[in-house]
Structure 1
Amino acid sequence: MATRLSVNIITNYVPFRHYSQFHQIMRKIPHVHNSHKYFIIPSVFGTNSLAKKNLFPANQQSQAYFTTPTHDSEKSSPTPLQTQPTNYSPKAWLLPGSGRRQIRVTKDGKLSWDDYFWLRVRRRNTERALTIPSTLLGLGMSTTYVFTRELDPTPILGQDPTVIYGLSVLLCFFSGLLIGPVIGSGVWKLFHRHEVKMMEERDREFYAHIKKNRADPSLHSIRNPAPDYYGEKIKSVAEYRKWLRKQREFLRKGTFHIGEEE
């Protein structure tokens, strides 16, 4: 019986950066170069010029595959990447250095959980990255104002002026520290306008899962600390499962007082 060679292309898993490299590899596979029965996903190459060309229509992205039969008379049967067809949202432009990725959307218009956590991590990284300059800006502006101003020995609100100026510098420092994540979130939304609503919907679902499955914090003790109450350290589906196991372990230890001295 003739065998069939099916090769799946998965976005961001093919290490070819140019079409010439990809074509040279494909020439080595039997019957591929002559039949040309394979599709090309633009995002695999990571270039804007290829992405603008309609090499892979949006309505076909739910069945990203190509097949090469070993016999010309044999009809090719597609091998889909996933059991459930998925669509792709418009290309998400991320901040420089953070990478690009085609976001998968389920039939009901929701982000897949893998893509949700992927975007969630990058959103947090953007917020943290912009927290540093905003904090330094607030600290620098306040210290510049204090050191360039002539010190008046007159008490301010009944306190020494140096104390008031020092508190003002600290206030500007913490203000920049708090404003940074807000600015970072706004910048992230600017670069991910197509995914904002889907992310907000997934955020509500995710925090509902966290609220439902986390253990009672009243069981917290020095020997049995509560593990990640808000789920901030969860970065993937696998880590969410680990978080669930830790919650059950925390509940078991707190209920039966395991490990505590009598």
Structure 2
Amino acid sequence: MQTGPILNISCYLFVSLADTAALRDRLHAHAEHLSLKGTVLIAEEGINLFLAGPAEAVNAWVDALRTDNRFAALTPKESWSATQPFQRLKVKVKREIIRMNRPTVRPDQAPRAPALPPATLARWLGQGHDDDGREVVLLDTRNGFEVDVGAFDGAIDWRLHKFSDFPEALAAHRDELAGKTVVSYCTGGIRCEKAAMVLEAEGLTAWQLDGGILKYFEDTGGPHYHGGCFVFDERESLAPDLQPVAPAPGGDAG
């Protein structure tokens, strides 16, 4: 249900890129021409982006990007807002599109960890186990302050300060996950995709929540989740209907 004139998209794709600087310049020029704002991160391992603007302009930028076969599989998650939630446009080349500081973890060069559709996760949580009767544990791979805004009921929260803390936290807690079906999750899928690879490498039964919390909201309406989902723009937090969380009555919106 559209409730504003500004289309917000977020998506990522792990794909090997050798022309990062040239790609940065091309994508920046086109986004600037269309008056889009947000952030696009490019690295040898892929692309991660958050953009907003009028729907026609956003869709034109995505359509042009998809003409490059490397990005044909991009599937942006969409939400709408009354105003532009970004102040500027930034297109940057980084060492990683999501920093883990583990050079051997390269999703663009390895088979993808199993991805769990949101509807399946909602069903598992409703029935209390996976389809093999195993206990399901949800592992939040976001930073602690994001978890405080909202999370899945009963999810494991290691109070990460940054995503690169994940491998060390896993080493300390691995035995607690043994024998269980672990579903890693994050905002849009990028962090839990890398996390699931590390979980698998540790011999654990691991899934990533496909599309993250935002896709879960879109597909299921958010059962078994409490609070909002923190987003890194001026909206701050989205409710399960993908609209900005309204301030509490009498509260300060600023």
TM-score (norm: length of structure 2): 0.27
Which one scores higher on RCO, CA 8 angstroms, separation ≥ 6?
2
Compare CA radii of gyration and give the structure with the larger one: 1
TM-score (norm: length of structure 1): 0.27
Instruction: Give the number of the structure whose residues are more often strand, by fraction.
Output: 2
Instruction: Give the number of the structure whose residues are more often helix, by fraction.
Output: 1
